[in-house]
Structure 1
């Protein structure tokens, strides 16, 4: 009995030392909860996830900057489960990865403060979905932070996902001005990095 208990403790310690166990546990809980919520058939509809700042989220009594991105992960898991995107990805043999994010912090979320993450798919192109995620304080309704996320689709495309879900061709929404500026920045950054790579190749010749 003691040997079994020691073995279990050892395995748990190994897991907690080598993996972010709490992240995976939280992801499972989010996915199960979203599965039992009512589906959302409008692909661009805003969905809300609730949260509260707890002690392991903070540095200097407010939410750590990196925690915002982590919370956005969980909000997207719920979004894609309820609007059917995850289901479409499985059916099409596709997957998604984050290609770029940018976040603007407007006011800190403090310990114990309740907040909502309001997530929505804004638009898409031939390769990626573009999302906006807002952190809204439940105390006074102020937008404490706002993030843009470029979600790249691999082995398929946003159009194919939407045709699978809607059984028809879906018109692409217009790109808001602020989002378009960010996309232009990404394109310029990629072009500059490709140029640096070409210079490195020439130097090595």
Structure 2
């Protein structure tokens, strides 16, 4: 029996997805926010995570680096830019809400199979987030830094939102640090620039 973690803030939607998955013979655990989702991911042995993009304490994709299992993205807001960014952040698939479980069973199974291969090595290298990390700087604050830093780059360089995000992501990869840390630096540099 495959095990799935559903990270979804809407209680009704969370319950419906859980029941549908259990009907399809999956074992299911749920989390109502990013913080709990990260904790469950790091302490559990899931085959797949279904990750909602709009969580109360973080934008879903911003926690993707802290998840220990492959994930698929769920959202009611569908556009090509979100799909591309989700793919670049490691999403195995993109699921439009609302959905019926029988419509996405093939998607989930493929994501589980591909994810098992992809995450075999990643599982060894992903750094754990401790409770202290979460308390010292909330996921909401990190998400705000990313959104604000994209705005700073838009203002300074007149680039598209996608190009701004790519610049932040590429810098993080080159320097071996988190996207949030790069975003935080950009915001601080921009604040210093406008105050001088």
Q: How would you bin the TM-score normalised by the shorter chain?
A: under 0.3
In the superposition, the TM-score normalised over structure 1's length comes to 0.25
More strand by share: 1
Identify the structure with bigger relative contact order (alpha carbons < 8 Å, sequence gap 6+): 1
